[in-house]
Amino acid sequence: MKALILSGGKGTRLRPITYTGAKQLVPVMNKPILWYGIENVVAAGITEIGIVISPETGDEIKVRTGDGSRFGARITYILQDSPSGLAHAVKVARPFLQDSPFVMYLGDNLIQDSLDLFVYSFESECLDASILLKRVADPRAFGVAKLAADGRVLELVEKPQVPPSDLALVGVYLFSPAIHAAIDRIQPSPRGELEITDAIQRLISDGKVVKASELAGWWLDTGKKDDLLEANRILLDTCLQTTTLKVEGRDSQISGRVQIGSGTTIIKSVIRGPVVIGRNCHIENCFIGPYSSISDAVTLIETEIDHSVILGGARIESISHRIVDSVIGQRAHLKTTPQRPKALRFLVSDDSQIELV
């Protein structure tokens, strides 16, 4: 079995952060979102991975992710010239996939469940397709599945006003080679894309065996700022298990689950976990509250931060009022003068310079 991870798209819902980088490389708990998907796939024993990239961000993904050796995998990069739909991505990946069954994984999704059982069920039951589902409060915003009592998929409906169930498509699929013929027989949707839901519906109409499995753990779509912060919070809660301190600290209080990278200096600061701080940071006269992730080479001076994600190389100084619920881009510089405002809330893109006067 192979894996196809989709890492294209323009990330419009995360702008301005994604004007200058791939949304799949935005870090959650200081690790690019894309890497969690790769690790999940490899943990299921799948080491032949194709990553679909776009012309805009593909080179950055190649440089950051490499040939797959760091994950114990072999990665092939597949260029999708235009964002023409998930089924179109499968179509352009056909030379890589050939006649192999495969997992298709959306690169900006995070799931808690391992893939092992899903892969085993797919292979042992000789299915033509298997979809992963999660119950959601408002299914009208998702693709929704209607199931038979035995788990067979009867129908897929995209963003229905009257949903047939509360089971939303997660963004992880398993396919046999039969999906290629199904894609060849569908037409672009009204938005001009080849939809994977249409291809799966074609399999169902042709009498192929399509079943569904329901996720037990969390599913996180990191497409928007608040979703990204929620993903960061949940991962810090569930994955930051131990306290690792490799830090020069002076007159500071560090409590709770806190992970700090090598080369980082903490001076006269308070840090309350769960918090992860990268390498070669300088933190002085600061308060860092729970559910914050600070990437490498960040400088924080006289600043209070809570429930925020700070990307690499950012510099924030002389801000006395607490920054909360914020995502600060790479190399951004935030600074205030003595006439300070009463509240601050930011979504700041890479290379920004902000001075509040």
Question: How far apart are the C-alpha atoms of 116 and 311, rounded to whole Å?
Answer: 33
Query: What pLDDT was estimated at residue 243?
Result: 57
Query: What pLDDT was estimated at residue 337?
Result: 67
Query: What pLDDT was estimated at residue 23?
Result: 76
Query: What pLDDT was estimated at residue 20?
Result: 53
**Domains of the chain and any CATH numbers:** 2-236 (3.90.550.10), 240-356 (2.160.10.10)
Query: What pLDDT was estimated at residue 244?
Result: 53
Question: How far apart are the C-alpha atoms of 269 and 170, rounded to whole Å?
Answer: 41
Question: Is this model's pTM higher than 0.85 or not?
Answer: yes
- Residue 192: exposure state from Cβ atoms within 10 A (0-12, 13-18, ≥19): exposed
Contact 216, 106 (CB under 8 A): no
Angle, CA of 35, 38 and 40, to the nearest 5°: 110
Question: How far apart are the C-alpha atoms of 19 and 245, rounded to whole Å?
Answer: 34
First CA to last CA across the chain, in angstroms?
58
Q: Which two tokens stand for residue 108?
A: 């900006």
Consecutive 10-residue averages of pLDDT for the chain (357 residues): 86 51 83 94 97 91 95 97 92 96 93 92 95 90 87 86 89 96 93 91 93 90 80 90 57 90 93 94 95 96 94 89 88 75 66 63
Question: How far apart are the C-alpha atoms of 138 and 146, rounded to whole Å?
Answer: 15
